[in-house]
Structure 1
Amino acid sequence: MIERPSSDPKYQLDEFETFIALEVERALARRDQSRKTAVSAGKIAGGVAAAVALLAPVHLRAIDSMQDDLPRLASEFVRSLAVRAMLRSEMIVVSQAQHPAAAPVAGDPFQDLPDQKDRLETMLIEDWAGQVVGQTYLEEQLHIPRSTLHLWRRHNEVVALRVGSRKHVFPLAQFVDGRPVPGIRDVLSCIANPRRAWFWLNSPSSCLDGRTPIAMLRQDFVAEVVSALSRNASF
């Protein structure tokens, strides 16, 4: 085994992450938390601390300016992480049960997912979809007429998430310059369920070097996202 010098920045960062993780784990253990809780919390804390250490000064100053909001944002991050982890675990189990010999593909959580009722249907939208808005907001803030929004929905050019029996909300990240980003129709043609489609759009994809499809579409990389779609066997 080749030992890395202690002056190696990557080695130092790994040590820092491990140190934070162990300290948090010990602190929670002293408060009689279960070992699983302590270990998980320690790993999350270590990873976050290491990520913060890599931020540029301008980003650190931006974070410093919102100190009062950090506990709430951290809580939202952990809840979102829990939702993603649960979905990923369930999807891997389903995939392995249907295709025992097939290894799961990291970053593509909907590969081989059956059309049966899944947990996404009962998740609170704000826990996984990010900021969503209604028709009134889009009409007043983005100047999108309701008739235009209805037309986009009919032609699968916008992701609309059902809330309750009749109401729909719209993920705000899909809009640029007052209209849905190009490529939404391609995604919905492959993933007919809007919730699954939006979850895929917001999930880092190994086919896109770890980037999210919605971020790529916002930068007009439609062909790359369509190619990533075509490399998934099924949804």
Structure 2
Amino acid sequence: MTRLQTPPEGISQETLAGLVTEAVQQTLMQQGVLLDAQALASASALAGSVAAALPLLPLAQRHAIDSFKGDWTALISEFFRMVPERIASGGPAVSDPASGRAPPEAGRLQNIAERAAGLQSMLLEDWAGEVAGSTYLEEKLRIPRSTLHRWQRRGEVVALRKGGRKHVFPLAQFVDGRPVLGISDVLSAIGNPRLAWFWLTRPAPELNGRVPIEMLREDMVTDVVRAARAVS
């Protein structure tokens, strides 16, 4: 009974909440789910709070939750309708479970996410520029499919999901049949390929308004990578 009422493996409630919050946020970004920055932070924090609270419930309540067959979406929507009233009356708001505060701003990257929030409703070519699949790249740029897929696995090329499981590749990242230097570092810093490419193709305040991908094509790798790490 005692074991069921504590987080697994002796992890504290705050630590468990923080781990789940981070994992959910990273997964959403890596899978290309483009939520606005506030929704991304809130969804991740809520998932962490739920994961941390469940092990502390009495066994009877946990069994009741496990056996619930109703509409979870409606139940959660009702909860969200109550939150503003709770805040207005001075009650606690949804917070960062690891610190007791609202999740901190993630700096410029959250601003990028806000600007990119509408990308899912747009045609890929309308915001990403010219893109092509592996067949085109093999025929026109002489990049073997095996090489392209190896670059993709290693995070050395920006691959954007289009439709179900198909990926396309922005052409502006290639010079002489290879992705420009610095792409892998930007992807490592920002994580989400869509957000990374969105940042790469827009004027960046960190670079005095210059476009990062244009700078990479001019071998100005150090400045671009430093800026990417700063916004992330």
1:222 corresponds to which letter in structure 2?
V
- Contact 2:128 2:170 (C-alpha < 8 Å) held by counterparts: yes
- Contact 2:204 2:210 (C-alpha < 8 Å) held by counterparts: yes
Distance 1:114 1:175, change over 3 A: closer
**C-alpha root-mean-square deviation of aligned residues, in Å?**
3.3
Identity %: 58
Q: Using the TM superposition, give the Cα deviation of residue 122 of structure 1 relative to its aligned residue in structure 2, in angstroms.
A: 3.4
Q: Using the TM superposition, give the Cα deviation of residue 193 of structure 1 relative to its aligned residue in structure 2, in angstroms.
A: 1.3
Alignment partners' CA distance in 1, 2:163 and 2:212: 27
SS at match of 1:169: strand
Partner of 1:169: 168
Partner of 2:129: 130
Q: Which runs of 5+ in 2 are unaligned?
A: 1-35, 42-94, 96-100
Q: What TM-score, normalized to structure 2?
A: 0.52
Q: Using the TM superposition, give the Cα deviation of residue 172 of structure 1 relative to its aligned residue in structure 2, in angstroms.
A: 0.3
Q: Using the TM superposition, give the Cα deviation of residue 118 of structure 1 relative to its aligned residue in structure 2, in angstroms.
A: 3.8
Alignment partners' CA distance in 2, 1:104 and 1:154: 27
- Contact 2:112 2:195 (C-alpha < 8 Å) held by counterparts: no
1:124 corresponds to which letter in structure 2?
L
Q: What TM-score, normalized to structure 1?
A: 0.51
Partner of 2:194: 195
SS at match of 2:128: coil
The residue correspondences of 1:215-234 to structure 2 (distance < 5 A) are 215-232=214-231, 234=232
Q: Using the TM superposition, give the Cα deviation of residue 113 of structure 1 relative to its aligned residue in structure 2, in angstroms.
A: 6.0
Larger Rg: 2
Q: Using the TM superposition, give the Cα deviation of residue 103 of structure 1 relative to its aligned residue in structure 2, in angstroms.
A: 11
2:187 corresponds to which letter in structure 1?
L
SS at match of 1:128: helix
- Counting matched residue pairs gives 137
The residue correspondences of 1:60-71 to structure 2 (distance < 5 A) are none
SS at match of 2:129: coil
Q: Using the TM superposition, give the Cα deviation of residue 92 of structure 1 relative to its aligned residue in structure 2, in angstroms.
A: 9.6
Distance 1:129 1:113, change over 3 A: closer
Q: Which runs of 5+ in 1 are unaligned?
A: 1-89
Greater RCO between the two (CA within 8 Å, min separation 6)?
A: 2
Partner of 2:152: 153
